[in-house]
Structure 1
Amino acid sequence: MLAYKGFQKDLTCLGYQFVEKQWNRTEKANCRANGFHCAENPLDCLVYYPAWKTSVYYQVKANGDLDEDAVDSKISCTELFLERKLEFVQLLFAGLKFMVVNPKRRWSKIVRAEEGDADQGYAVVRGKNPRVCGKKEGDILVIAREKADSVDIERGAVYIIDGVNFHPGIWYDVNGKIVME
């Protein structure tokens, strides 16, 4: 199963040292108690590893005994393969893709409805008429517009506040256009 996982920069999680490009194995998988934890929704990694500047994120394969969490998309497994390291913007883009492919799934706790600003260097906003604002250069903005008559995503975008194309303190829509108050 394809999933995503956050780690400390040294690839540790709760004291366990993970190794890239090989199967990491443990005995039991229970989301509440043990096993290797990962998330089906990439954005849920930010619930558990919110300090993105001091964390690393991977696309992983979860295998073996699997146990799912009823709270979000967290999974516990007995076998975990660290497939590919993701830059932070890649993790956010993967989260946007997850929303597009799975529009009816429960939203990650980090997704804001209709509007949001980059309070920790990023913002993820979804809705019928969403708007998003960055505070400083380098902020990453993810925006997803739903269809008028359903929760299906009809358009999504990722913008980086660069001071040239996108500016701090300005509200943008999914087309990259400035939205007036």
Structure 2
Amino acid sequence: YLPDCMMWYGLNDKSRFFLCESGGSIDEEDGCSMVVSTELTLIKELDLLDIAGHTMMYMVEHPQRKWISMVGGVMITSDAAHTGAGRLLAIARGERPIVYGIEGTAVGWILESEGNIIAAKVGVVGQSGIKPGVKYTITANRELVEVQDETESN
């Protein structure tokens, strides 16, 4: 879970993150996102959108694990999240997730219904129709909808 790494290595222009393949002796604790191995192969350096996507995939694949995070340039919360002021990634998860951000930052929505994840979407502010400073939520069809006159809860 990438946000766990960001407790020690923040999401900034000094840290680099990679998709890796573990080998040799591998040790992974149940219920923990940390994996230790004696061999490590770097596959691909991750950009901001990759980091957001892999983070959200982990959340979808492990819906009951701890996922709220507000460290190292990341804000992942229930209901509402935003980028800005050194925060480069914002993800909201809930029955009506609301997210907004500044140009060039990554944003993501995970829609739940009765505790089940039913849709997810990730993007970069300023691309694919995601406008800076505009609050959006997501539909079950993964469509973004502008939120009018909403105050965020976080």
For Structure 1 versus Structure 2, the TM-score category normalised by the shorter chain is 0.7 to 0.9
Residue 114 of structure 2 is aligned to residue 149 of structure 1? yes
State the AA in 2 paired with 1:85. E
Q: Please, which of 72, 79, 102 is the counterpart of residue 114 of structure 1? A: 79
Residue 22 of structure 2 is aligned to residue 62 of structure 1? yes
For structure 1, which runs of at least 5 residues remain unmatched after alignment?
1-40
CA contact under 8 A between 2:80 and 2:97: conserved in structure 1?
yes
Percent identity reads 25
Q: Number of residues paired by the alignment?
A: 138
Q: How does 1:21-100 map to 2 (within 5 A)?
A: 41-68=1-28, 72-100=32-60
CA contact under 8 A between 1:57 and 1:88: conserved in structure 2?
no
TM-score, with normalisation over the residues of structure 2? 0.76
State the AA in 1 paired with 2:147. V
CA contact under 8 A between 1:115 and 1:132: conserved in structure 2?
yes
Q: Please, which of 122, 132, 145 is the counterpart of residue 168 of structure 1? A: 132
Shift, 1:46, TM fit: 2.6
Shift, 1:128, TM fit: 1.6
Shift, 1:167, TM fit: 2.1
State the Cα RMSD in Å: 2.3
1:178 is aligned to 146
Shift, 1:105, TM fit: 2.4
Residue 94 of structure 2 is aligned to residue 127 of structure 1? yes
Please list every run of at least 4 consecutive aligned residues from structure 1 whose deviation after the TM superposition is greater than 6 angstroms: none
Where 1:52 maps in the other structure, the secondary structure is: coil
Deviations 1:96-118 (A, max 9, x none): 12222222222152421110111
Where 1:51 maps in the other structure, the secondary structure is: coil
State the AA in 1 paired with 2:105. D
For structure 2, which runs of at least 5 residues remain unmatched after alignment?
71-75
Q: Distance in 1 between matches of 2:66 and 2:111?
A: 16
Higher Cα Rg, which structure: 1
CA contact under 8 A between 1:139 and 1:160: conserved in structure 2?
yes
